Amino acid sequence: MICCGFMWKSGGEDLQGFYPVREECVADVPRTRFKSRAGKTLSARKWHAAFTGDGHLDMERVLRRIQRGGIHPSIKGEVWEFLLGAYDPDSTFEERNKLRNHRREQYYAWKEECKNMVPLVGSGKFVTMAVVAEDGQPLEESSVDNQEWVVKSAITDKRVLQWMLVLSQIGLDVVRTDRYLCFYESESNQARLWDILSIYTWLNPDIGYVQGMNDICSPMIILLEDEADAFWCFERAMRRLRENFRTTATSMGVQTQLGMLSQVIKTVDPRLHQHLEDLDGGEYLFAIRMLMVLFRREFSFLDALYLWELMWAMEYNPNKFASYEEPQNMNNSSGQDPRLLKQYGKFERKYIKSGQNEQHNTLAVFVVASVLETKNKRLLKEAKGLDDVVQILGGIAGNLDARKACKEALKIHEKFLKKANSKH
């Protein structure tokens, strides 16, 4: 990474140094606004001080910090593992090490299974061209784009064929992922991203691979050194997002969230909603990308990570880990115990207090609403068609403040809950 001399200064500390940008890309990258703020950002010192001697984590204290000022880049990966429900704060160092080792073994066993089908998995290389014909027959020729490797005999297993056919698409997306970062100048780092996405796709044939998953997975690989740890972090993030990626011949999973967004704007800003309806934008399809890849295009790399951790901290539910590991033993009663409530993120806490703790809107929907509200005047005045809406929203890249967007989202959420409750 020495070749990358450019880094942004931030709050007296060179934070962008954690994610160096290729010099020739500097002009095209949105500027970073995130600053590590003493006394507000969760620092390595404060993080380590939040553990008891045997490893129990004071999650309430940690959430308070993250919601105030994000997480210092030096510890993001390990904090994310807790935020995403990969580990239980109420466990010991020993219990977590045991679980981590078990998960690593599990991941490398899956990797071996995939490698037996396609030897390129785990080789430090990846493909950007088909390795098998659509009908499962071997291809006539190979090339550098499929690493000179193609299947030698017909593939008759439907699941295996479906998986093999998507490997080249994953490869094409890997090449395009965060290519302005020095990290991805290394083919072996790109191959790690390809490996994780390929293995996840093999294990989840009902969802398969959908473009955008690469944008969710990329930060995990940069933040967590062990590939298996990065896989499990991605797997947990996808538990929240997978329904957005579920597609059928007639619908996209993200449409559920677009419907929620429509309801929110209709409730809190009926005039804007009516205007968008008049422009044939009432389905809010222009917001698909924001919701699918969680604002990766609207923010610089560091700011997008800051936004994610703010949202995850605000949505944090202490039952997440148990709901993933032992869903059959889950008891849905969250209770109104004030002491327990403090262990929830502030967004989640609102729902529990209002008694609406079943499936509900995600904070991302309200963040999109806050972005639309910041452009309210321009959209009402200048948007004469959907192209104008897209253009106005396209101008926000690099000009959004993650903290303000979340703050506004919480206000809109409050307003939405009040208006929705007043109707009942």
Considering the domain architecture, whether residues 169 and 310 belong to the same structural domain is answered as no
Angle, helices 93-117/158-176, rounded to nearest 10 degrees: 110
At 143 the pLDDT is 67
Distance CA 329, CA 325 (A): 9
Q: Find residue 95's DSSP bridge partners.
A: none
Give me the CATH number covering residue 253: 1.10.472.80
Last residue of a domain, one of 208, 227, 245: 245
pLDDT, tens only, 203-241: 999 999 999 999 999 999 999 999 999 999 999 999 999
At 394 the pLDDT is 85
Considering the domain architecture, whether residues 275 and 165 belong to the same structural domain is answered as no
Nearest to 314 by CA among 397, 409, 219, 231: 409
Distance CA 368, CA 374 (A): 10
Considering the domain architecture, whether residues 404 and 286 belong to the same structural domain is answered as yes
Q: Find residue 181's DSSP bridge partners.
A: 21
Pick out the chain residues at pLDDT < 50. 1-3, 5-12, 333-334, 358
Whether residue 54 is contained in a domain is answered as no
Considering the domain architecture, whether residues 281 and 176 belong to the same structural domain is answered as no
Give me the CATH number covering residue 207: 1.10.8.270
Taking the whole predicted model, whether its pTM rises above 0.85 is answered as: yes
Considering the domain architecture, whether residues 257 and 238 belong to the same structural domain is answered as no
Domain that holds residue 266: 247-325+335-422
Last residue of a domain, one of 205, 227, 245: 245
At 8 the pLDDT is 37
User: CA 341 from chain center: how many Å?
Assistant: 25
Considering the domain architecture, whether residues 152 and 240 belong to the same structural domain is answered as yes
Considering the domain architecture, whether residues 234 and 303 belong to the same structural domain is answered as no
The count of other CB atoms within 10 Å of the CB of residue 409 is 25
Considering the domain architecture, whether residues 113 and 230 belong to the same structural domain is answered as yes
The count of other CB atoms within 10 Å of the CB of residue 61 is 14
Backbone dihedral angles phi then psi of residue 278, each to the nearest 5 degrees: -60, -30
The number of domains in the chain is 2
At 371 the pLDDT is 93
DSSP state of 74: G
Considering the domain architecture, whether residues 231 and 267 belong to the same structural domain is answered as no
Whether residue 65 is contained in a domain is answered as no
Considering the domain architecture, whether residues 130 and 269 belong to the same structural domain is answered as no
Whether residue 33 is contained in a domain is answered as no
